[in-house]
Amino acid sequence: MAPLLAATYAHLGRRNDARAALLQWQPNASQFQLQSLAQSYHFPYPWTQDESAAPERLIDGLYVAGLPLDTTVATLVDVLQQKDSPERRIAIRNLGRFGRAAADAVPALINVLADDDLWVHSDAIRSLGKIGPAAADAIPALIAIQGEEVNRVVAQQALKEIRGF
């Protein structure tokens, strides 16, 4: 139950409690191990088609719970200013994992949509979708992307998540 509790706390913005739940589950884990827990965790529940978003949301919560506490939406936005940085793609993905709490990152993620790197572009689109309705300012840019061959499907999915249908 500790992993689910940690993920839930992380999504509620209670990162100290999320960290404590992870440490209760894995008391001797290093920072690296805490950040890696989400990659290897398998949920003990079968998910129905109607609940298909639940596992991804919980994994995102585990990722956020495992991040160093000084990693915030603001610090991740700062990393977006670094061009050609491997940390930049990680920051983009982590912003999406913060979900609605990353609403302040929407303008920076919209700027990333102009990036020439298609992988960075794709990660930014997915993150905007995970932020959901708070990313409504990205709708015009995502509509434009729908007209392109590359990332069309990703943009359509993000638009559904932002619009709530």
- Spatial separation of the C-alpha atoms in residues 141 and 34, rounded to whole Å: 35
pLDDT the model gives residue 62: 93
Identify the CA nearest to 96 among candidates 128, 55, 122: 128
Please give the pLDDT value at position 47: 67
Q: Say if residues 133 and 162 touch (Cβ distance below 8 Å).
A: yes
How is residue 29 annotated by DSSP? -
The pLDDT score that the predictor gives to residue 42 is 77
Question: What pTM does this model have?
Answer: 0.89
Domains located in the chain, CATH noted: 2-66 (no CATH), 73-163 (1.25.10.10)
**CA 147 remoteness from chain centre:** 25
Instruction: Give the CA diameter of the chain.
Output: 50
- Residue whose entry in the numeric block shows the structure tokens 């409690």: 17
Q: What is the pLDDT along the chain (165 residues), one digit of tens a residue?
A: 788 899 999 999 999 999 999 999 889 988 888 888 888 887 777 766 666 677 788 889 999 999 999 999 999 999 998 877 789 999 999 999 999 999 999 999 999 998 888 888 899 999 999 999 999 999 999 999 988 888 899 999 999 999 987
CA distance 11 to 99: 8
